[in-house]
Chains A and B, each alone.
Chain A
Amino acid sequence: MMSGYMEIALITIVGILFPVIAFVASWLLRPSHPNDEKFTIYECGEIALGGDSRKNIGIQFYLFALIFVIFDVEAIFLYPWAVSFGGLGAFAFIEMMIFIGVLVAGYAYAWKIGALEWVGDA
């Protein structure tokens, strides 16, 4: 019982020490030349919004993210299915076709009503 928790404790300690050591080491080794560009907030490569984050963001980002998640989940299911396809037989094939068919129907609907047309920043 105890040994199981010891491993978790070990991982916790390593997890805490790792960034601390990394930061301390780089603080000791690096040259220091601060400038404005370095102090801007990093936002996934986008131009930073600046201090005030209370801005409206186009609802389409959300829509695209949602449609993306659907295909992400599809990939998660497809991968193990493809790996063990040999042993599964025709039933699994039909099942997966139904699953993909459901997703395609939803995708076709989103396409038809124009959910994928980019209307620009709202």
Chain B
Amino acid sequence: MSYGLLIPELIIAASALIVLLAVFMKDGGKKFAGYVSIVALLVSLILVLKDGLVTPTPYFNDTIVIDPLSQIFNMIFLLVSLLVVIGGIRYNEDKPHAEIFYSLLLFATLGMMVVAISNDLIPLFVGFELASLATYPMAAFERTKRGIEASMKYFVIGALSSSLLLFGMSYIYGVAGTTNIPQIADALSLNLMKPASLLGLLFIVSGFGFKMALVPFHMWAVDVYDGAPHLVTALLSSASKKMAFVAAFKILVVGLIALRFDWYIGLALLAVLTMTLGNVVAAVQRSVKRMLAYSSVAHAGYIAIAFVVISKSLAEAEIALAGGILHIFSHALMNAGAFIVAAIIAAAVISKVKPGEEDNLDNYAGLGKIAPVTALMMAILMLSLGGVPPMFGFWSKAVIFLSAIKADLLWLAIIGVLNSALSLYYYARVVMYMYYRDPVIERVNEPLMYVLPVAIATMGVILLGLYPPTYEWAFEAARTLLMMGGIL
């Protein structure tokens, strides 16, 4: 048996340990740790892209399967981590124990990748916990009062969601008698409407709901995203949250399809509440970081439309899932880029204006003159988040809304479009501040290691939406998932 397809995961695992041992170097190994992480993530990313749309290959008694779905999610996780690590080189310049930052980040990435490739509830939960446990301390990396508060909240809510998840899984196991996900689908379809399997799925929905930050499970997310360092927030909202989506796709899609149960009203309510609340509250925020945090809640609502469509109409499940995956991809890029921009502003601009007043929108005034490159990229990212064509954020959202229309959920698509229009107000406000307000200081130096990841994200946002293989990947991944659930 060849382990060729598992090499990306092995590289990440090995580098996470090597990075820790950088403390034995004379200079503390700060630079070394950073560059090893970059190389490891880059090589893994290239390997994942090279293997591309593999035929599903099982490993370890079918507990792990590498398939197009896991490949596209591994690509997203590796890409986001790569962006964060590149930014981390500059961020860690004045921080002690940089090796912890890189090591935790690589372990978190490994956990997410394990979730993406697992075909069984046990490795899925282990990967989920690895990613969660690695990100709890990262939120408190600066040891500020707010950072520790954020980390504590994240830990308590994370523990709660993990226990709900595990409890739900135990019910599912009790009904199905197996932890293998495709076999669960078969077993559940024979045990239609058993209260235990419904209860199990309900617990799992709540468990993932916390991690996905769907309303009403979203309260922690905004505080954590706000209190954590910018780069960690980029990782949390762009990768960690996406991990919950792939896990939910795997379990819920299989479960929902197997149970043939009409959950779509409930799920639709969840999606509508999530996007509306996220957008309305984001619109009144003065802090850019909080605004982005609420907007990321709203985007989780758009992605949740995929669940609604699947439970309404199986015929449109493929396009709905592909839309969900595409939007996960585009939002990961846009959001990571935007949070790293906020890191640039905090490091290069605000420290010169009024220290302590981080992230206030007023500090973005005249950014077009203070930091023209950053401002241009931020403008593109903001417009893409708001869904302005021809950016990736528009296309991915369009596919989701299209799937809703095709599944006779026109009202849901309309609510989605109205929400998009509302969101454009606060995204465009940032652009307005950057270009139509007078700058308060002279032009500043934009740190290269912060600009580089944002530039990569921005290029991705501009190009990927117009690049047909992106859609091929997403649709292929959706088909794989449906095959796992026993349709197609």
Query: What separation, in Å, do the CA atoms of A113 and B23 have in the docked complex?
Result: 8
Q: Are A112 and B24 in contact (CB under 8 A)?
A: yes
* Residues from chain A with Cβ under 8 Å of B46 in the complex: none
The stretch from A26-34, A37-45, A48-56, A100-108 touching chain B is A100-108
- CB B256 to nearest CB in A, in angstroms, measures 34
Most chain B beta-carbon contacts within 10 A, residue among A106, A108, A109, A112: A109
Q: Is chain B's binding surface mostly helix, strand, loop or mixed?
A: helix
- Check if B122 is an interface residue, CB within 8 A of chain A: no
Q: Are B21 and A105 in contact (CB under 8 A)?
A: yes
- Check if B388 is an interface residue, CB within 8 A of chain A: no
Q: Tally of A-B residue pairs with Cβ under 8 A?
A: 15
Across the interface, name the chain A residue whose C-beta is closest to B100: A113
Q: Are B23 and A105 in contact (CB under 8 A)?
A: no
Query: What separation, in Å, do the CA atoms of A106 and B21 have in the docked complex?
Result: 8
* Residues from chain B with Cβ under 8 Å of A106 in the complex: 17, 20
Q: What residues make up the interface of B, taking CB atoms closer than 8 Å to A?
A: 17, 20-21, 23-24, 97
Interface digits, A84-111 against B, CB 8 Å rule (1 contact, 0 not)? 0000000000000000001001101100
* Residues from chain A with Cβ under 8 Å of B20 in the complex: 105-106, 109
* Residues from chain B with Cβ under 8 Å of A109 in the complex: 20-21, 23
Q: Is chain A's binding surface mostly helix, strand, loop or mixed?
A: helix
* Residues from chain B with Cβ under 8 Å of A105 in the complex: 17, 20-21
Across the interface, name the chain B residue whose C-beta is closest to A98: B14
- What would be 15 A-B contacts, judged by CB atoms less than 8 Å apart? A102-B17, A105-B17, A105-B20, A105-B21, A106-B17, A106-B20, A108-B21, A108-B24, A109-B20, A109-B21, A109-B23, A112-B23, A112-B24, A113-B23, A113-B97
Across the interface, name the chain B residue whose C-beta is closest to A109: B20
Across the interface, name the chain A residue whose C-beta is closest to B23: A112
Q: Rank and list the top 10 A-B pairs by shortest CB-CB distance, nearest first.
A: A109-B20, A105-B17, A112-B23, A105-B21, A112-B24, A113-B23, A102-B17, A109-B23, A105-B20, A109-B21
Across the interface, name the chain A residue whose C-beta is closest to B99: A109
The interface size of chain A toward B, counting residues with CB under 8 Å, comes to 7
Query: What separation, in Å, do the CA atoms of A112 and B23 have in the docked complex?
Result: 7
Query: What separation, in Å, do the CA atoms of A102 and B20 have in the docked complex?
Result: 11
Across the interface, name the chain B residue whose C-beta is closest to A112: B23
* Residues from chain A with Cβ under 8 Å of B17 in the complex: 102, 105-106
Across the interface, name the chain B residue whose C-beta is closest to A113: B23
* Residues from chain A with Cβ under 8 Å of B97 in the complex: 113
* Residues from chain B with Cβ under 8 Å of A102 in the complex: 17
Query: What separation, in Å, do the CA atoms of A112 and B97 have in the docked complex?
Result: 12
Query: What separation, in Å, do the CA atoms of A113 and B99 have in the docked complex?
Result: 11
Query: What separation, in Å, do the CA atoms of A113 and B22 have in the docked complex?
Result: 11
- CB A111 to nearest CB in B, in angstroms, measures 10
Across the interface, name the chain A residue whose C-beta is closest to B22: A109
Query: What separation, in Å, do the CA atoms of A113 and B21 have in the docked complex?
Result: 10
Across the interface, name the chain A residue whose C-beta is closest to B13: A102
- Apart from A106-B20, A108-B21, A108-B24, 10 more pairs, CB < 8 Å: A105-B17, A105-B20, A105-B21, A109-B20, A109-B21, A109-B23, A112-B23, A112-B24, A113-B23, A113-B97
* Residues from chain A with Cβ under 8 Å of B21 in the complex: 105, 108-109
Query: What separation, in Å, do the CA atoms of A105 and B97 have in the docked complex?
Result: 16
- CB B147 to nearest CB in A, in angstroms, measures 17
Query: What separation, in Å, do the CA atoms of A113 and B17 have in the docked complex?
Result: 15
- CB A16 to nearest CB in B, in angstroms, measures 28
* Residues from chain A with Cβ under 8 Å of B24 in the complex: 108, 112
Query: What separation, in Å, do the CA atoms of A80 and B20 have in the docked complex?
Result: 30
Query: What separation, in Å, do the CA atoms of A112 and B26 have in the docked complex?
Result: 12
* Residues from chain B with Cβ under 8 Å of A112 in the complex: 23-24
* Residues from chain A with Cβ under 8 Å of B23 in the complex: 109, 112-113
